[in-house]
Amino acid sequence: MKTKPSLLKNSVSFVFSIFLLFLSGCKKEETDFISSKITKEYSSEVIQQWNNVFIDLERYAQGFRPCPAPRAMAYIGLACYEACVKDMPAFKSIRYNYPGLNIPQQLPLKDYHYPTIINAIYSKLLTDFMGNAKGIPTNRFIQISALYNKLKNDYLGEVSSETIARSDEYGLKVAEAVFEYSKTDLVGHNHHLEPFKDNVGNYKPQAVPGAFKPTNAAGPGMFPDYGYARTFVIKDADKLIPAPIPYSEEKNSPYYVQGAEVYAAVNNPTPDQRWMAFFWSDDLTGLTFSPPTRWLAIANQVYELDNVDLETAVYANAKVSIALNDCVVACWYSKYFYNIQRPVDYIRKVFRPNWQPALYNPLTKETGISPNFPAYPSGHSTMGGAAAEVLTDIFGNYYPMTDRCHEGRQDFEGGAPRHFNSFYEMANENAISRIPLGVHFRMDCDQGVNLGIRVGRKVNQFSWKKG
């Protein structure tokens, strides 16, 4: 029997109405999903702004330099990378390399706003890592909540309030997961609260010629156990550098020549050597950010100069920060393994009893400062080598730039910027600057750069990309 035309027409109309209602009910989800941008389509401005907050706060954070700072940077970098990698087509998650790290996943077919996710991650993790640090002025710490609220409000004009709320919640969940994982590093976690404590107990001071002597009478130097903190890429076998030049007080011996070089460089520097030494020092809490954070400041300048997209900044931040964390752990392992004295002790014994390094603190007026941990290898040099290796891998071997990290600094040379043609050139000058400052032998600097480059190379070779 044939269906009557009127019935057929009504049936079609009914089905079509149901279809329209279905589309109407799905419209928001489908629109949200289709309109979602991948990470590369956003500006890196959110990363730049938050890096600047970290750089400013870390300057005052007691116990953060030089080891806990890159640790915090690395976990923040990892959190941002894992939160964004789903929409970074050439990249893959690295979370499977870390048992116990449980990164929450995004909801399927839902729109996410990556600047909001990163905003939430930085706000949460900066508070978690720095909230109990002494020395940060309250009027500076409130930058965290101020920037978080400002950006969250600004982003409301870009996407729906539902997308902002979803993205904010997801960023907070990722940050919580990463911070919980960070707590399982029993050596590194909260070490800034007790920087002279040896939680591992492997360090034994040595009463032999040429051994490091802590400047604090209460115990060992700073972070005596930090060589056992968590690394993200390198293994235990990567931590130990070749043995230093054998100790000798014999005139014209290799060790004596190294001491003589420091003695002469401090006593008779050229004006440029003098500024170079202080340009790279970053030793003193309250005066500047720390040596590893210096390389975050350099990376931030690169992001601005190249107007990089968010994907590039997320990737670079993660790689640079992980390289700095791992190279610091390796450096401190070798420092306390060899336990080599600072030049000041050798020079006072062999050359002049009342000799002083050039490093001084214009805030406290303290003079003749030497960092309170063994000299070999140089931490500055190690960090510079690692950062240069990673930045070169991302931005190229030839990268002319003027480092403006200390522009306007009033205590020395007006903060005059210095120009470089590559990141390696920066790393080498950073290393050699420790000699006219009077705090390192040349062997410390050379082996530090070598160690940093080796660590940076392993970070470059890590499983970041697909295929």
Average pLDDT over residues 321-336: 98
pLDDT score of 216: 62
Between 224-228, 269-273, 309-313, 324-328, the lowest mean confidence (pLDDT) is in 269-273
Does the predicted model carry a pTM greater than 0.85? Answer: yes
Q: What pLDDT sits at residue 112?
A: 96
Contacts with 414 (C-beta within 8 Å, 6 or more apart), sequence order: 408
* pLDDT at 420 exceeding the cut of 90: yes
pLDDT of 33 above 60: no
pLDDT in tens, 156-178: 989 999 999 999 999 999 999 99
pLDDT tier at 6, thresholds 50, 70, 90:
very low
Cα–Cα distance, 97 to 232 (Å, whole number): 8
Least confident segment among 219-228, 393-402, 411-420: 411-420
Per the CB < 8 A criterion, the answer to whether 52 and 300 are in contact is yes
Average pLDDT, integer, range 183-202: 95
Angle of helix 442-460 relative to helix 423-432, nearest 10 degrees, comes to: 150
Inform me whether the pLDDT recorded for 14 exceeds 90: no
Predicted pLDDT of residue 16? 38
- The letter for the amino acid at 376 is Y
The pLDDT value recorded for residue 217 is 53
According to CATH, the topology of domain 39-460 is Vanadium-containing Chloroperoxidase; domain 2 (1.10.606)
> So where are the chain's domains?
39-460
DSSP for 267-320, written as a single string: HS--HHHHHHHHHTT--STTTS--HHHHHHHHHHHHHHHHT-BHHHHHHHHHHH
How much is the pLDDT for 11? 39
> Helix 379-395 vs helix 291-306: angle between axes, to the nearest 10 degrees?
20
